[in-house]
Chain A
């Protein structure tokens, strides 16, 4: 498995994955930077970091997963590399599992970057305009826990997006699905039914009601892992004609 993972990482290193991993959280950090500068009075740190986490969870994360899974799949669809990969003496499930692990790992990095870049941009803005420098100190442990839950709740969405991107040689089905999912996530962020909607499960980690957090986490994380395993098994078994 390590050999397959190392190959996947080397391929990703030479793709634009790192640009994507940096670009998406940077946009939220830029937004936070200008929000601070436009502010009239100081606000608490938690407000900025929770705001960045929410924006990440309901919009930028689903969009990033859509783009990232399409990129990972098109590294093989583009050059028609499946026949070569699948003819090698390597269990095919490992090829797909390595891709899934890489996507999850990059999502974890991006989620962390979102917090780190937002913290940096807010700090820089408060240096430029000391009057609006954030007050208090952020509850880092709580923020990290919520962000960890967001990643866990995103696994079902990742499984669906990755399966679609790998299953179809055209990027259109995966993009359409991702754009559609993100659209509903944005326009119906607070809908209670969102706990059952894979693209809204991450943002439900910010919900006040415990049942919403638990339901979305159980479905997004628990069912997500099952779906990911099923997706890998199906992709490994199916014929690529």
Chain B
């Protein structure tokens, strides 16, 4: 069974600048795939190649097994997209904007009511888009992407411009989408927290290269476990940890130290606690630290920064 989206060695050069460099990514069917990276990392360029909006210099993009460069129209029938530039006609109402796209897609008019219902925009559908807030435009864009119920949704920064309630709604909506409709969602963002709470899979792009990709739960599990501790003397505690072959880093809430991959965290915490108490230190808190997407992101997107920065802090 082909992946919902698959790229092989996708590369795009603009003059001398390499915007996307040999990106091979796989978005499994019914996944919510968070495509992460800094602004300018190459996310939008990659998405544009997936949508057939720009041609790759080298490489292939496939949507549901269809080669986008060779059969753009068939591939485009599988995709609904929400792009950074919404492209709404502000002198038309929300419903009229959707009707234009529905005509081009050849979908029945009933689809318009359905998608408006899904994004809870029926009440405002008769108003001109010029009077919409950014959040409303974002929801209307999502409704437009869902016209014709395409199996794949490509969403470029879907939470841009949304207020906190809107972000929470969008998060819930996207998370439930694969189960409700069977759709696959590829969403790009630079907001780690949003992706962490929404995505089942992640891909991190850094300077045009895909630095990491995989199932989010597995990536988190693969990280070396870390403990955090707070004592009355962190300098002595750090020295004691060093005696146990552990490098301690100063954090906002005390010290943090990475264990060896596979090490039993409960036993390690108990042993360290014992050692700290025996050394006469008062231990205020000690325990495992939950691993986050930020840990994964920092490890691959800015590998050179962390040790230098944190060791400096510890010293």
A interface list, Cβ under 8 A from B: 3-4, 6-7, 10-11, 14-15, 75-76, 79-91, 239-241
- Which of B71-79, B206-214, B258-266 is near enough to bind chain A? B71-79
Asked if A7 contacts B90 (CB within 8 A), the reply is: no
The docked-state distance in angstroms from the alpha carbon of A11 to that of B93 is 11
Beyond A3-B106, A7-B103, A79-B87, 8 additional pairs, beta carbon < 8 A:
A76-B87, A79-B86, A81-B85, A84-B101, A87-B83, A89-B74, A239-B54, A239-B55
The docked-state distance in angstroms from the alpha carbon of A16 to that of B203 is 46
B224 within 8 Å of A by Cβ? no
Asked if B106 contacts A241 (CB within 8 A), the reply is: no
Contact of B103 among A3, A14, A76, A79 (CB under 8 A): A3
B interface list, Cβ under 8 A from A: 14, 48, 51-55, 73-74, 76-77, 79, 81, 83, 85-92, 96, 99-101, 103-106, 144
21 contacts between A and B (CB under 8 A): A7-B100, A10-B96, A76-B87, A79-B87, A80-B86, A83-B51, A83-B53, A83-B83, A83-B85, A83-B87, A84-B144, A86-B53, A87-B51, A87-B76, A87-B81, A87-B83, A88-B104, A89-B73, A89-B105, A90-B104, A239-B55
CB-CB under 8 A from A6, the residues of chain B are 103
CB-CB under 8 A from A84, the residues of chain B are 81, 83, 85-87, 101, 144
Asked if A4 contacts B104 (CB within 8 A), the reply is: yes
Smallest beta-carbon distance A106→chain B, Å: 18
Smallest beta-carbon distance B71→chain A, Å: 10
The docked-state distance in angstroms from the alpha carbon of A222 to that of B79 is 40
Asked if B73 contacts A11 (CB within 8 A), the reply is: no
Smallest beta-carbon distance B144→chain A, Å: 8
Asked if A82 contacts B76 (CB within 8 A), the reply is: no
The docked-state distance in angstroms from the alpha carbon of A87 to that of B78 is 11
Kindly count the residue-residue contacts between A and B in the assembled complex, taking CB atoms under 8 Å apart. 76
CB-CB under 8 A from B54, the residues of chain A are 239, 241
Asked if A88 contacts B100 (CB within 8 A), the reply is: no
Asked if B52 contacts A87 (CB within 8 A), the reply is: yes
CB-CB under 8 A from B52, the residues of chain A are 87
CB-CB under 8 A from A81, the residues of chain B are 85, 87-89
Smallest beta-carbon distance A9→chain B, Å: 11
Smallest beta-carbon distance B72→chain A, Å: 8
Asked if A88 contacts B89 (CB within 8 A), the reply is: no
Contact of A79 among B89, B104, B144 (CB under 8 A): B89
The docked-state distance in angstroms from the alpha carbon of A239 to that of B76 is 16
**Known A7-B100, A7-B103; contact A87-B53, beta-carbon cutoff 8 A:** yes
CB-CB under 8 A from A239, the residues of chain B are 53-55
Contact of A240 among B53, B74, B105 (CB under 8 A): B53
CB-CB under 8 A from A3, the residues of chain B are 103-104, 106
The docked-state distance in angstroms from the alpha carbon of A4 to that of B103 is 8
Asked if A15 contacts B51 (CB within 8 A), the reply is: no
The docked-state distance in angstroms from the alpha carbon of A81 to that of B144 is 13
The docked-state distance in angstroms from the alpha carbon of A241 to that of B92 is 25
**Known A3-B103, A7-B103, A241-B54; contact A89-B76, beta-carbon cutoff 8 A:** yes
CB-CB under 8 A from B53, the residues of chain A are 83, 86-87, 239-240
Q: Which residue of A lies closest to B82 (CB)?
A: A84
CB-CB under 8 A from B77, the residues of chain A are 89
Asked if B89 contacts A75 (CB within 8 A), the reply is: yes
Smallest beta-carbon distance A158→chain B, Å: 23
Smallest beta-carbon distance A13→chain B, Å: 10
Contact of A88 among B85, B96, B101 (CB under 8 A): B101
Task: Select the residue from A86, A87, A239 with max chain B CB neighbours within 10 A.
Answer: A87
Smallest beta-carbon distance B135→chain A, Å: 17
State the 7 A-B residue pairs at the shortest beta-carbon distance, nearest first: A81-B87, A80-B85, A84-B87, A89-B76, A89-B77, A87-B51, A89-B73
Q: Which residue of B lies closest to A90 (CB)?
A: B104
The docked-state distance in angstroms from the alpha carbon of A63 to that of B106 is 37
Smallest beta-carbon distance B76→chain A, Å: 4
The docked-state distance in angstroms from the alpha carbon of A88 to that of B51 is 9
